[in-house]
Structure formats: structure tokens, C-alpha cells
Structure 1
Amino acid sequence: MMHNADQTGKSRQFSLSSLSGAIAIATAISSTAYAAEIEEVVVTAQKRAENLQDVPIAISAFTGENMEAMGVENLTDLGKFTPGVEMNNDTPLQPTYSIRGIQTGDFTVGSDPAVAVYVDGVYTGRGAGAEVPLADIERVEVLKGPQGTLFGRNATGGAIHIITKKPQADDTTEVSLTAGNYGRQSSDLLLNKQLADNVYGRMTVSNNRRDAWADNLAGGFNAGNQDTQTYRVSLLWEPSANTEVLWRANYGVMDQGSALRSSIVPSLQALDGGTSVFGDYALDTPTIEDRDAFGTSLTVTSDFEDFTFTSITSYSGFDAHLQQDEDGTSLADYKFGSANFDDQTQFSQEFRLNGASDTFKWTVGASYSQEKLEHLTEAYFTSGSLESFAVYEGLKGNSAAFGIPQDVFDSLSQTEQEDMAVQVRQAMMMGGQEGLAVSNFVYQLLAGSGQLDQALNLGAFGLTGLTASQNLNPQDMVAQLMRGIQPWVMADAAWNENVLNTGDYRSAAIYGDATWSLTDRMDLTIGARYTADEKDFTIETAYQNILPLTLGGPVELVNLPAGYPVQGTIMLPTVDAGIPMGLAFFNNGQPMLDSELSDSWSDISGRIVLDYRWNDDVMTFISLADGFKAGGFNSLNFGPGVEASFDQEDVVNLEIGMKSSLFDNRVRLNTSVFAYEYNNLQELDLVGTPIPSYNLRNSDAEGTGAEVEVQWAATDNLFIAGNYSYLDTEFTRFGYIEAIGETAEDAAARVGQPRVSTPENKFNLMAEYTVPMTSGADLVFRGDYNWTDERIGSISDPTRIIEDYQLLNLRAAWNSASDRYSAALWVQNATDEEIAGGYGGTGAAIGASPGWRYMPRMYGADFTVRF
């Protein structure tokens, strides 16, 4: 079914008919059979190995085997089935991770993410380096709520920890092949070998290719295809019974088309041959996603009599090129493309000591990291794009000038406003008024900034004491501007801009965390971390384009001083001039911006947790924790009245939870309720006048919610699991920037509104049934169902709603008796739901908002052989 970007009706009730029916039948059949136990999961959320059920933190943990059965390939797939979590990597080089509604949507390098991603204990500072294929993975831990004590800065929302498998003391070879629709071809090769009595090696090679699932009607290139190769190698050396040295290295190559974004504006879809978000598309900016990434780490662990020492040293980096079509059309009059080039390296060192006795467990540590980066942002337009932008901005500012009452225009949704702007633009073209909107816009811009007076010095014509902006008839001047601008707009001349950033970020921290056993059943945990961040940052950009101006001819004098000797209409000499200007990086009228910036932030974050074990099977806990994310810099532009840097953000979270293993460990029930307050939330938005630009402002927000996870080993053959999350978020203060045209009234209107991309309800259900065969082999049938509530899809337009959706994945697998061979048939999005991932984006600046979708139905087969 089609999902309209602006439909605001009630969410449909999720349907479980087919899957719940199958579960009911399976449950009835199994009621007399012997029940198995749920397997224990060991996690390292508190920097030491513990049973998941003993950790007083809300955690969703997934083993590698479980993710394979779910058909999970990346973190986005995992996020769909994790309560309270949303992950989107339609653009793998700019992924977004949201835990309990906390995320940062900044695609530049001036800020840091709000959810920390770790791979084998090493923090990955940029999203472009965080997306790794989930092949040969031991487990993934998703820690919810601020993790400032043990995981440090930039974990205000939580932390995601990916743990790869270590080399083992055996010789193993495993080959996995996958084939599917849309040309899907994937392969994984695993080699594990014992090289000596105390040395073990492991290597993984992964390859993933898939074609685009829709056609580009404009031709020339594809979007949304995949092509990645990843190589991992690790060596484990055990020089003594108490010491382990583990070296890891990885290298990855990505060379594919970027995300498929298509226009959601009906009139633009029609002009583009009937494209849609859920069908074929038409783009004119080639989509590119290239990345070469590498990383290496050395982990040394030594056990002493009273403590364990751990050292993790790492160095990593990547070169990346991301290019996208921001308007979602192939129309030259709406061309808006962007490109980001990144060169990043990062070094980190952590030292940690762990100790434990019967009544006391403790961890102390220190860490240091340095990140160096260079980031180039480019934007591609045409002179026709500037006309489309001017029409859209003109309607928003004075629609009556176009014959449309302002209250009527203001009552429309953003998509309807953009659609009306397209229709007005087309009518102006048919009426020979191409370039009129730009001429009006340029006149107001130049007159307001004084640039018009500089370009046309009336004193040089003998008109002393007069200014062009005050004493020349505006209509005459617009008509004169039209002479040079109209042919320029009609030619759709190229208009490209760029801005360069560099950064040198350092962070140091010390931390400690201790757990006391107050009684046999009650533990008290107290932890704290001191973090100090320093950042050096540069921004360099200049106006790289010239607006052609041809002035001269008859013009009426207005607003003349009393008794001025010249009256009526005069003839101005012809003046050919050009005005430097920026559309993407306007800089508030500054023709050149070249700044070196420095700032620092520090914070003490901590946690206090009290847990009580009612018996061997049930534990409850209450925790108070806070997290800290360093401030940063507006990367694209800033100007008078707009701060170059923005404040750090802090969050405080109160949580009450329960973890239980019931009925002889046949049922696992974990629940939590939480409430948090967010101060100085860093929000990126497209704001400002006369030309909108991206700026980060600080706001406040709060959230409350609840999560439930259930696992049930109904029989030896039937396993059922489900989870539900509820989340209610709202702004309690919305920051506004007066210097770029925002008002206190605008900000007040946003107070009480929910955060973007945070569904209120989310529900998952899984059932897996194993059929033993007489040969010793087995068949495994599995279904995974997800329902996600509607949510706001655009920060600039809270009425733009993404509809709720449901997702069903099915899998049937066969495993040989020797476990040497495995084969599976699978289908993802089995009902071929048309699911919108998001609406809006930078294309909204010119009235051409795009949208993107989740993948349509995907099906295929896996085959694995082990030697």
C-alpha cells in the first residue's frame, strides 16, 4: 500500500494473523513435550564477562548464530527488531543510530554522534567508519540509556558494542554462499588455524553485491545497489597461562551507488515521468558511495593474583566519498546534488584494571584518543535551481504577490506548499516570467545588504545624496535585473559551491566503577568518569559564483529629499556587474569565511545502581545515570549573531528494571521503565533567512518509556520470543537563533512536540520450530515479525508523518547430522510492504523534498559447508 507523507490519521492496528496462528498451533502441539532451557548469554557491558541476566543495565544482546537465523546483515537490520532502537543506514557512510529517541542527525564533522559504536572495545568516532558487515561475529550488545561511566563521552543515548570472534584452538574452514533476487551474490570465507602450541590465527573474507531494485528513468547510473568487500585477520598468542595477546586488523572497500532518494512532490513526480518513492526513479546527480577503511588493534590481557590488567591500543582510518541526488529528480530546474569527501585517522589507548572478591568488584581505567580529519562538502545546482528556490521562498514570505492568500498557503502541509511552488514556477515559465522570482529575490537581498548601492554608485552619475536601495523604483530595478538574469536562468547554468573543514580532536578520561555486596542479595554500584575534550577546527569557504547584473535605462526616482533638483524618471548609463553570492553556503553575506576555531569541554558523568536478588531467578534494579557529549562547531557556515560553536549536551536517566529466569530457566522475562531529561540537545536543522542554511542549535527534551523482552523455550523444539517498547518524547525547550530570522514564538510552538523519528510503540515477535529427522539432521522454521508505530519524519515540518509499518521475515533451514552442511531459504519483507524510511532533507531548501524507502521483498538461498 502507498504511504502518504502527510497522512496524519490514526495508526492501523498491527496484524499478527498469519504468524500468531502458526505460533498458536505450534504451542498446542508442544504442550505435552519436555521443555528445554534458554541458553546463557555472556556480555561485557560492565567491562567484565558476566551473565546477561546478572547485569543491572537494559541490554539487548544478539549472538552471531541468532543474527544469522534472523537474516541480519548490518546494524540497521538489527535495529528493526530491537526494542527502543531505530537504526537507518540507507546511506552507510551517513548512518543514524537512535536509542530511546536520542540521536544526532549531523552529517558534517563538527559534532559527534550521541550513540557510541564500539568494535572489539575500540570506539569508532565517525559514522562512515561504524558500519561493518556482521559476518563472523561473536555477539552484538545494545546498551540502552546513558553509558557515560564505562563507555565515556558520546554515549548519551547508549552504546552499541560489536564483538568479533577470536581465533580458536582448532583448524576450521567455513564457506558460506548466498544468492537472491536483484542479482544478490554474497560469500564469506572463514579460516581458523592453530599455528603453534600457543598461537592461533583467524581470517574472514566477506563479499556482498546486489543490484538496484528500481530503474533510473533518466539513465546513466544506478542508485541503491551494493558492492562491498571486507577482510579481517586476527592472531592470538598465549605466552603464558595468565597472559593473552590478541592482534586484529581489518580492511574494507565499498564501491557502490548511494541511497535511492526520489521526490515526494506530486507535480515533480509527474514532470519526471511518473516516478515515486516506491517505484522507478529519475536522478541526474550520479550517486556514489566509495570508502577505503582500515583498522588495527592490539589487546593485551594479563591475570594477576588480585586483578586483571587490560590494554587496548588501536589505530584506524578511512577515505570516503559520498555523493547524492538531494532533490530526487532529473529536472535541471531543480538540480541539487551534494558530495562529501572525508579523510580521517584515529588513535586510541585504554588501560584498565579489574578486580573481584566475594563482596567487592571494581574497575578503574584511563583512556586517550586523537582524531584528525579533513572534510570537504560540495553542492551542485543550476541557475534554474536558484529560480525554483526563489519562487518557493517568495511564496512562504509573500504568497499574495503570486495571487495566493497568505493564510491559505500557510495552512498547507509542507509537501502541498512545495507542490504549489512547482505549479507557480511552471505558470511563470509559460507566461514568459522565467527569472522574475530570482530578480525580485536578488533585489531584496542586495538592497538590504547595501551591495546594490556599491554596484550602482548614484553619486558617480551626479545623483548626490541618493542611494539605489532607497531612491530607485523597486519595480523598475527588478525589470532591469531581469535583462541579465532571465537568459542566465533559462540556460540552467552550472552553480557549484564547496566548504572545507579540518579537525584535530583530543579526548582524555579516567574512570572507576565498583560494586559492593551489601548483603547476600543486595548490591550497590557506584561509578564515575572525568572526561576532557579539546577540539581545533577550521572552516573555509568563499563565494564561487557570480550573479550577472545588467543595469541601465529608464528608472523612476522615489522617496526624494524635499527640493531635490532632479525629479521623475532618469536614464541610467549601462552598468554590467556581477555580484558574488552563495546559495548553499551563504555565510550571512560574508563573501569569504576562513576561521580557525578552538574550544574545550569537560564533564564528570556517573551512575549509581542498587540491585536486589529476590531469589536465584529474579533480580530487580534501580539506577540513576548520566551521560555527556562534547560540544562542537557549525561546519557549513555561521555569521553575525550565529555562534561558531555550540554547547555540550547532557542527559540524566532514571530507570527501574527487572531481570528474571523463570520455570527452570524456560522463560526469560526482562522489563524496564525509564525517564530522562536532556539538556542542550544538539539539533541540526535547515533554518534562516534570506537563504536557509544548516545550523546546530541547543534545545532541551525529555522522554519516558518502557520495554519488555520475553523468551520462552516452550519445548525442545519450539522457541518463542517477543519484545515491546513504548516511548514518549517531547521538547521542553526549543532553541532559536534570532540572527537568522527565528523568533521566540517559533520556538515556543515546538515545545511539547515529539522528537523526530521516534515511534511511540514498537512490537516484535519471533517463533522458531525445529523438526528432528531420523538421519540426525534437522529442519528449522523461523518467522520474525515487527510492527513500528508512526513517527514524525522531518524536524522542519512536524506535520510530515511517516506511517506505521509491519515487516515479516521467514526462513527455513536444513542442518546436516554432522553439522558440516547447512542450507536455507529465506524471504525478507515477505508481504512486500511499501515502507517509508524518511521524508525531507536538504532538497527541502529549494522546495523539492525527497523520500527514501526500506527494501522491497528480498528472497534468496544460503549454503554453508564446514571443513
Structure 2
Amino acid sequence: MSTSRHLARLALALTVSTATVHAQSASEAPSDVISLEAVEVTSQLRVQEIQDVPIPVTALTGSALEAYGIRQYKDLAPFVPGFMVQEQSPNNPGINIRGVTTDSGDPRSETRVSLFQDGVSISRSRGSVVELFDMERVEVLKGPQGTLFGRGAEIGAVSLIQRKAQNTTAARLTAGFGNFNRTEIEGMVNAPIVADQLFGRVAFTAVQHDGTIDNVADGSTLNGKDTQAVRASLRWQPQPTTTVDLILNYQVDTPPGTSFKSGTIAPPGGDTSPYTFAALNRGRDLYIDRSVWGATLLIDHELAGAWSLSSITGWRKFDSFEQFDADGSFVPLLEFAEDATGDQFSQEFRLNYKNGGPFVGFIGAGYFHETGSQVVPFYGNEQQIWPFLSGNFRDGIIAAGVPAALANAAIPAVNPFAPVSAYPASMALFANPALPPSLQGLAFLAGVPLKGSHVEEYANHGETTAWDLFADGTYQLTDRLELTGGVRFTAEDITSGYEASRLSSTPSTVGFILGGGENIVFTPTNGVLEASDDSTGWVGRVSARYSLNDLTSAYASVSRGRRPNAITIDATGTPNYLKEEIVWNYEVGVKGVSANRRINWSAAAFTYNYNNFQTTIADPSTPGRFIATDAGNATGTGFEATFQGAVTDTITLFASYGYTDATFDETGDNGQPQEFAGYSFRLTARNTAALGATLNFPLGNNGNLWLTPVVQYKSKHYFDDNNAMFGGILSEDGYTLLNLRAGWRSPNGRWEIGAWAQNLTDEDYLIDAGNTGGSFGIPTFIAGSPRLWGLNATFNY
């Protein structure tokens, strides 16, 4: 039996799961009582034990994140069933919850999965990736969460809670190295500034390693990492009833570019495997330069009686630039870049009620404003592009009446991979008087050289202003039964813009030949084309939770999620108004702990129905450009389970399993067959499973050793909603990854020395396929990380 199949069956046999994963260090493990730590979460915007929340939520404490080496979103996946992360680069993540993915960089459309950092949305794709360092907790909520987390939480939310300044003096420093010339350093300093009133904390991280794919074009590397981040926070407590937190975040990423390797054109002396060396144009000019700034102000104030007031003010800005070789080869065919910016401000006020009686809840209002742009330049070499286009051109002019012999003369009799100097300098064909009337208009191109450099670009612009009113509450009907309900109303004003322009000094010869006028790819718009719209919508939830006994409870819920209306515009200036995307989710679940708290578990089953599912497809009229479209109706069903148990005071085990079947329906609302009928959503693995453990080996006065193995499995999944594209090769078969961490900790916990490895068995797997090259008929493929390892040392003060 294969490892992956055995793992999946073992996880299924457990049939139960934990809603939280907490890794106890040896210094934290009790010597006389074996138990798991009770974890408190704020998923419902109030502090609760996770077992009391009628939501499928997984929470990982800060100590769990550190013990398992979780530094990026993708590292969370083994611990959260139904959760998958694709990270091409810090500039281009894809986050999938229960089969539904958020990854678009288009500023004109809303996300499906919300990411929140201390209550502030960081959901916009190009600015969403942040390092998980010095964290208090991460919570992943599944199912529509718009009532609690706003308009972008259509199918789920990820809540990042950073550690705040405390009234204590502490410091921590970690340094390490690893393969691919990896270096890392991370630290934290916390101290009181004014006794018992004002505290400060500064945390930082810097991680760098070379790329894992060699680019033999110039000796550079691809798929590397280079990230620096710093966070400064102040906590002011002028009185016992008031707490004010100010948090400033800054992160910069400057890694080498992503290896979009062609599956069609092999590098000289190489092959088309995505796991071997590449030969991409521009070499070291393929890179990412991304900066993210954020400021958050949190105020919690207890009013008279049972009321309290919470305020969340957030400002964020990102600026990212990425150069990438879209054809994935050494031929300068599809050379692109993306320059994305975003600026947002948000304000939320929430009035909370809790008097110790049967009802607890809140009402609130919010404001959100965002502007963003996405500029995509295209760099073309007509002398290299022409041989690839000339075959189609030949057929076209023969059909127009040009004799075959004359048409054949238009095709350069050279290898398309030959040096530029081998190409003809002019298109003398069009001076021939034998041209039919339909082509005589091109005669002026006679003698016009094929250009070695041509630049054009398109840009998407978006502006959104939204206002929210929301309320949510829980009422305890009996000692065992409680009901929860909530609703959020939203009003939005959106403006979308599109522009395409020619940046070269002279028009494109090939562009005229192809009928595109001055440009090869993007038809010029002669300025920005805009369209505006306003809309209103609502989301809500109703749930019931019943305590079967003091240790086990069951819940059932119905929730409505929404992705707001969107507008796209093409070069003609015609706006395309996309309807709001609606999902209804129905769910039942059960959670429990053992009497001695040595075991906790949970399981949930769900089904959801989508209407007006918006997907991104290649623009059929403009190769290289992607547009949003209504793909119709879709349905998802699934089951999730995780388990955690303290076997002894030194061994803790966990397991997780998720089953998701998310596909497009056979017919749409109008009863007509759907284009993607029966196809699975992209990035959706039907089965995911993980097994892991925390093992501590006490050494008496010599400290202790620890070991944390984690095995995860993902079944086959597709990288495009059109599963049949290119014969179905845009997919990845099931694979298993093994991660391992081990180390020694001193008796007082002051020193720690550790070693770690990700993908220990060096498994080959893909994280994406198709990409921009796919829209031109030459798909590219991105390899997942090979085996990475490192050593580090930590000092705690």
C-alpha cells in the first residue's frame, strides 16, 4: 500500500478531530497531570473556549506555531482540514477553503476568503502575505463568515492575532542557517515604559535563501526567498477599564523571480520538467519587489453596566512589482511584469453587551475605502515572435486569396530559436501588387523592420467605498440549548477602470498584421475607460448549539455568504456587470473533550450551493489578459475531522482529515448546460489528511530533547476550473510530504538548539500549472519546494 493511501485510511479510521492544535514544550508539560491546554478564541468577537463556538474553527496558539515552525500560510495546511494554500510568491498567493479559492490580483473584484490582522482586513491578494512571527494565535474559520468578518468572508476567514505589548520585561533572539545559502534571524523585546500603564514591544524577522531552481541563462536562481519584517506596538492602559493598542507593521520582500517553466519549449541541453534547471530571459531582472505598510489602533473600553465599546481603526498600503517570463523559455516571446498598488482605510465601532444573563451579543457599524491598480506591461521582440505567428498568418492570407507560393515567402526560413540576426529585416511581401484588395491596406508596411523591442501594457483600476451595519447575538434558551443569529447589511459604491496603451516609440508591425493595430496583444483604448455602480446586499447566519453532556456538544447552522457585484471593461469600453455571488451553507458538527482533558476532537459535515460563481478565464479576444465571468452554479459537500490526544505527559498526537467535493452543476439557472459542468474547482483536493506528534524526552538536569514529525497528504487536484484544458495536464496527482523538527532545550528554557527539514523525502510536486502562458497555448509549470533544512539557536531572556 502506498504511503499516501495508508495515511488517508489511517486518518479516516480516527473519524474524529481536534478543533485546536497546541504543542506543549517540555518545560510546559505538567509533571503530575496529563492534559491539553484549554484554548480561548475570539472567532465570535468575544472570548470563548473553542469547544463552545458553533463554528468549524481551528486555532493554533503561538507556542504551536513556534513548535511546528509555522511561518507562512502554507505551513498551516496540515493542521486545518479543508484548507489549502498555493504560494507562487509573496506577491501571488492562492488561499482555498472548502474548495473555493481567492487569488485574483484584480482590484475591481472582492475576495472570497478574508484575511484579518488584529481585526483589519488584509485580504487584497498582492498585499495579503505576511510573515507569521511573534504571534499570539491564528484562527481559521470555515463557511460563510460575513456576519463576523465582513464582505470578503464569503466562504471563510483567517484571523491573525499578533502578540501585543505586555507589562513585563522579556527578550528573545533566534538565528540560523540552512541549505540554499539560507540565513535567518528573528527577535523580540518587550518592556514597560511607564509602570503599569504604558508598555512597548518590538519584534522583527529576516529570512533569505537562494532560489531552488537554477536559471542557466545567466547563472541566477528562481523560487527563492528574501523577506524582512518588523512590528512595533504600544499598549496603554490609563485605567483598568480601558486598553489602547497601537500596532505598526512593515514588511519588504525582494526574492528572485518565479520559475514559470515551459512544458513545451525545453532549455538548451535540458528538458521540460519543472523540477530541473530553466533558461528564462532577463535572468536577474526576474524578481519581486514588494512592500507592505500597516497601522492599527485598537480601543476597548468598558462602559457603565453590561456595555463595552470596541473600536478598530486600520490603514494599509502595499506596492508590489514583479517581473516574470510568461512563456517559461529562453525565447523572448511572452515577457511580462505586474505593478500593483493598493491603499485602504477602515473604521469599525462595536457596542458589546454582556451582563451575565442568558443573552450576549453586539451591534456595530463599519466604513471601508480602498483604491487599487494593476498595471501589466508586455515586452515583445517581433523578430522572435514572428516565426511562431507566421504559420497562422500563412493560412490566413492564403484564405484571403494570396497564392500559396507568395504566402510561403512570408515565412522566415529560419529556426525560431536562431539568433535575432538571422531574421529578415522587412516584410517585403506587402509591396507585392498581387495582394488582394482585402490586404492592400497593409502595403505601407513594406520595408518596415520587425522590431527587436516593443512595449505595451494594460491597467486595471478599482475604487471601493462600503458601509456596514451588523448585529450578532447568542441566547441561552435552556441549560443545554443556545441559539445564535446575526446579520450584516452592506452598501457599496464601486468604480472600475481599464486602459491599454502603446509605450514603444513606433507601432508594432506584427500588431498591424494581426489586426490589433498599434499593439501586438492589448488593443489601445486611447485613455482610461471607466464604469461605476452601486449595490446593497446582506449576509447572515443562524445556528443552534446543544450540550449533549458537560463534555460534548453538537451544533447545526445555516449561513449566507456573498461576494459583491463587480464590473469589468474591455477595450471597446463596454462594461460587463457581474452579479453578486451568493452561497448558502448548511452544516452540522460535534465537538468534545474527555473528562481528564487528555483528548479533544470535533467533526463537521457541510454542503453549500453557489449562484453566479465568478471565475477568471483567459480573455478570448485578448491573449494574455484575464477577465472575470459568471460561470453559473456550483455545489460543494464535505466532511472534516481532526483529533488531538495527550498519550503521556511527554507525547501528544494529532490527526486531521478533510473531504471536499466541489464541482460546477450540470445546468445553470436558465436550465442550459454549463461550460464547466461536472468539473472540480481549481486547487481543490478531494481528500487531505495529516498526522503529527510532539514528543519530549526529559534529560533531568540536562534539559530535554523534543521531536515534532508531521506528515500531510493531498489527493489529485486541478489548477484550472476548466479541468479538460490541454488534455487535463494542468493538474497534480496525490502526494505526501514529511516535515520534521528536533532539538534540545536547556533546563530553564533559556537556550534552545534545533534542526528542521521540510519535504524531508524530497518529493516532486507542482504548486501551479497553466498560468499566463496557458492563455497563449504554451502552459507553464511551477515546482513546489524541494527538501529544505536548517539549524537554529534561540536565547530567551
Same fold (TM over 0.5): yes
The one-letter amino acid of 2:484's match is T
Matched, 1:632 2:566: yes
Deviations 1:66-124 (A, max 9, x none): 12222221112212442111111222112111100112342322212211000011111
The answer for the alignment partner of 1:582 in structure 2 is: 519
| Residue 440 of structure 2 corresponds to residue 508 of structure 1 | no
After superposition, what is the alpha-carbon deviation per residue over 1:649-683, rounded to whole angstroms, capped at 9, x for unaligned? 11110000111112422111110000001111211
**Matching residue's letter, 2:605:** V
Does the 8 Å contact 1:84/1:100 carry over to 2?
Answer: yes
CA displacement, residues 386-413 of structure 1 (integer Å, 9 cap, x when unaligned): 4466369789999999xxxxxxxxxxxx
Q: Which residue pairs with 2:314 in the alignment? A: 314
Contact 1:272–1:331 under 8 Å retained in 2: no
Q: Which amino acid aligns with 1:53?
A: Q
What is the match of residue 127 of structure 1?
125
Distance in 2, matches of 1:384 and 1:109, equals 34
- Change in 2 beyond 3 A, CA 1:722/1:34: farther
DSSP 3-state at the match of 1:847: coil
Native 8 Å contact 1:481 1:550 kept in 2: no
Q: Which amino acid aligns with 2:677?
A: V
- The answer on whether the counterparts of 1:543 and 1:592 sit within 8 Å (CA) in structure 2 is no
1:532-681 aligned at under 5 Å gives the runs 532-543=491-502, 546-548=507-509, 580-586=517-523, 592=526, 594-634=528-568, 637-639=570-572, 643-681=575-613
The match for 2:43 among 24, 42, 45 is 45
Equivalent residues of 1:115, 1:155 under 8 A apart: yes
1:468 and 2:437 equivalent?
A: yes
Structure 1 residues 212 and 690: CA distance shift in structure 2, 3 A: closer
Distance, in Å, in 1 between the alignment partners of 2:770 and 2:398 is 22
Counterpart of 1:858 (choices 772, 775, 788) is 788
Pair 1:247 & 2:246 matched = yes
Q: Which has the higher helix share?
A: 1
Q: Report the counterpart of residue 103 of structure 1 in structure 2.
A: 101
Q: 1:184 aligns with which of 162, 172, 182?
A: 182
Match of 1:160 among 158, 161, 178: 158
How many pairs does the alignment contain? 751
Corresponding position of 1:409: none
Which residue matches 1:558? none
- Rg: which structure is higher? 1
- How far is the alpha carbon of 1:206 from its aligned partner? 1.1
* C-alpha distance 750-344 of structure 1, shift in aligned 2 (>3 A): closer
Residues 802 and 255 from structure 1, CA distance in 2 versus in 1: closer, same or farther, beyond 3 angstroms?
same
1:772 pairs, out of 685, 693, 698, with 698
Contact 1:638–1:644 at 8 Å: present in 2 too?
A: no
Q: Write the distance in 2 (CA, Å) between the matches of 1:774 and 1:399.
A: 87
Contact 2:267 2:329 survives alignment (8 Å): no
* 2:222 match: 223
From 751, 755, 760, the counterpart of 2:681: 755
Q: Is the 8 A contact 1:686 1:796 kept in 2?
A: no
Check whether the contact 2:468–2:491 (CA below 8 A) recurs between aligned residues. Answer: yes
Aligned to 2:409: none
Is the partner of 2:102 in helix, strand or coil? coil
Match of 2:733 in 1: 803
> Is the 2:545–2:556 Cα contact (8 Å) retained in structure 1?
yes
Matched residues in 2 for 1:397 and 1:791: separation?
38
Task: Say which SS state the counterpart of residue 773 (structure 2) adopts.
Answer: helix
- Shift in CA distance, 673/34, structure 1 to aligned 2, threshold 3 Å: farther
1:68 & 1:808 partners in 2: Cα distance? 18
Q: 1:820, 1:866 within 8 Å by CA — same for their partners in 2?
A: yes
Matched, 1:377 2:376: yes
| Comparing 378-387 and 207-216, the one that deviates more | 378-387
Could you say if the C-alpha distance between residues 685 and 109 of structure 1 is closer, same or farther in structure 2, counting changes exceeding 3 Å?
same
Shift of residue 827, structure 1, vs aligned partner: 1.0
- Note closer, same or farther for the CA distance 1:391–1:609 as it changes in structure 2 (3 Å cut): farther
Contact 2:88–2:768 (CA<8 Å) still a contact in 1?
A: no
What's the CA shift for 1:591? Answer: 5.4
Contact 1:786 1:808 in 2 (8 A): yes
Counterpart pick for 1:728 among 661, 673, 687: 661
Q: Measure, in 1, the Cα distance between the counterparts of 2:294 and 2:661.
A: 39
3-state SS in 2 of match to 1:757: coil
By how many angstroms is 1:11 displaced?
9.7
**Cα drift, residue 493 of structure 1:** 2.2
Gaps of 5+ in 1: 1-9, 24-32, 402-423, 444-454, 552-575, 737-743
Partner secondary structure for residue 78 of structure 1: helix
1:661 and 1:804 mapped to 2: Cα distance? 33
Aligned-partner residue type, residue 110 of structure 1 = R
- Please list every run of 5 or more consecutive structure 2 residues that lacks an aligned counterpart in the other structure: 15-30, 401-411
For 1:329, the equivalent position in structure 2 comes to: 329
1:404 equivalent in structure 2? none
Q: Does 1:14 align with 2:5?
A: yes
Q: How much has 1:643 moved relative to structure 2?
A: 3.8
Q: Which residue of 2 aligns with 1:682?
A: 614
Q: Residues of 1 paired with 2:130 and 2:774: CA distance? A: 31
Identity rate, percent: 29
**1:683-727, CA deviations, whole angstroms, 9 ceiling, x for partnerless residues?**
111141475642210122110000001011111111110000000
Closer, same or farther: CA 392–250 of 1 in aligned 2, 3 Å: farther
Q: Is the 8 A contact 1:34 1:715 kept in 2?
A: no
What secondary structure is seen at the aligned counterpart in 2 of 1:390? Answer: helix
CA RMSD of aligned residues (A): 3.6
Deviations along 1:139-178, whole A, 9 cap, x unmatched? 1111001101111101112000111001111111110112
Tell me the amino acid that sits aligned with residue 510 of structure 1.
L
* TM-score, normalising length: structure 2: 0.87
CA contact (8 A) 1:484 1:550 kept: no
1:704 is the counterpart of 2:704: no
- Conserved 8 A contact 2:579-2:612: yes
Q: Which amino acid aligns with 1:651?
A: V
